[in-house]
Amino acid sequence: MTGRDLLLGLTEVEPEFLVEAENRTLPQRRIFRRPVLAAALIALVLILVGCTYAVLSETEWFEKFFADWQNQELSESQNAFVEEHIKVIGQSITKDGYTLTVESAIADSYNAYIKLRLTSENGGKLNAESYLPDYRFREDGTWEQYFYALDNPEWKYITGMGPSEEDPTVILLRVNQNERQNAKPLEEGVTYRIHMTGLVGYYSDGSEEVLTEEDFDFDIVFDTLYNETLEMISEPITASFADIQVNVTSLKLRALSITTDYNGRTDEKGALCFVDSFVVLKDGTEVSFRPYILGSEGATCFLTGPVDLEEVDYVRLRDGTKIPVPETEKSPG
């Protein structure tokens, strides 16, 4: 059977589907046109100062988050990526009068962003500068914040958390996998547990307020995960910064992260060749990437904005080296 056979075979689909395809309209996204809405927007800004995030949908929230981070409006393909791959969750747990809600997530197979929101059950004000789970180390040097697959609880993913700059009641959890350690990629259909202990408010004067010491366990499943990878290196290339030089043998690009392999150094400074580097999209949008797991043989980087691999034009390294998209196909994982 060929693609042509499949195309022709489609002729016999059920007529109800054809009627639906002929008549159905899809909910359309509202597009604000600046000239028309200028006055209205000014009024809106006055009303909504300080709480703009409250009225954003989950999609809009992530679009704004990435736009702020990459310091540039998202391109059409980036907005489309967020709309297509966001997972709205809405799972809540209340402890000691405080409710944590896992609102949404977006992920590729090695990097996930999970958005949580804290509310006070009795409507009490949350005035701290930021709220986070209890990240204070215990006496044995560990803490109790984990992310793991329920069917493999021994393997704990690397996590990081930060408050939203604009809204202290939003906590953003970042989950990372280090491919070089043969870590298992994130997968659709697998149940992952977010385990958190305690909630602490951090005030600008340096004081802390423990809201609860209870545990929060959320079980989430990704079903909109982007699991494609684009290997950009077909022949090893050299990358450099100042007097540092490495031989790059692999640069795997994903929607939200990059893994690169290199040699030529015995320390971790090779990763500096990948600071101030960019993925450049076909429409000219530049998305920077930043190394966060460093090693002598490679680095894992996160992208400051989402990238649809089909829209990538080239990668530009810190020393100006341009790596064009190779002719080979993308591969899963």
Partner 1 sequence: MDDEKILQLYFARDEEALRQTQVCYGGKLQALAQNIVRNREDAQECVNDTYLAVWQTIPPKKPNFFLAYLSKICRNFAFGKLDWQQAAKRRAEVVTLSQEMEQCIPDKAREAELESREIARAVNDFLRGLPPENRVLFLRRYWYCDTIEEIARRYGMGQSKVKMRLRRIRQQLAAYLEQEGIFL
Amino acid code (one letter) for 186: L
Residue 224 Cβ vs partner 1, minimum distance, rounded to whole Å: 8
**Residue 189: CB minimum distance to partner 1, A:** 11
* Phi and psi angles of residue 286, each rounded to the nearest 5 degrees, phi first: -110, 125
- Give me the least distance between CB of 26 and partner 1, in Å please: 4
Smallest gap from residue 40 Cβ to partner 1 (A) = 21
CB-wise, 19 or 48, nearer to partner 1? 19
CB closer to partner 1, 16 vs 235 = 16
Query: Residue 134 or residue 308: which is nearer to partner 1 going by CB?
Result: 308
Output 293 or 312, the one with its CB closest to partner 1.
312
Cα(137)–Cα(198) distance, integer angstroms: 12
Nearer to partner 1, 62 or 241 (CB): 62
Contact 286, 278 (CB under 8 A): yes
CB of 16 to partner 1, least distance (A): 7
On whether the CB atoms of residues 193 and 181 are closer than 8 A, the answer is no
List of residues contacting partner 1 (CB under 8 A): 1-22, 24-26, 28-29, 76-77, 79-81, 83-84, 308, 310-311
Two structure tokens written together for 227: 């699991």
User: Is 180 or 330 the residue whose CB approaches partner 1 more closely?
Assistant: 330
Question: How near is the Cβ of 63 to partner 1 at its closest, in Å?
Answer: 13
Q: Where are the beta strands (DSSP E) in the chain?
A: 87-95, 98-107, 111-120, 130-133, 146-149, 158-163, 170-176, 191-202, 208-221, 228-231, 237-241, 244-253, 257-263, 277-281, 286-294, 298-303, 312-316, 322-324, 331-332
Pairwise CA distance, residues 195 & 242, whole Å: 43
Q: What residues have CB less than 8 Å from 118, skipping those under 6 apart?
A: 98, 99, 100, 101, 126, 131, 169, 170, 171, 199
CB of 184 to partner 1, least distance (A): 19
Interatomic CA distance for residues 37 and 317, integer angstroms: 41
Whose Cβ is closer to partner 1: residue 171's or residue 225's?
A: 225
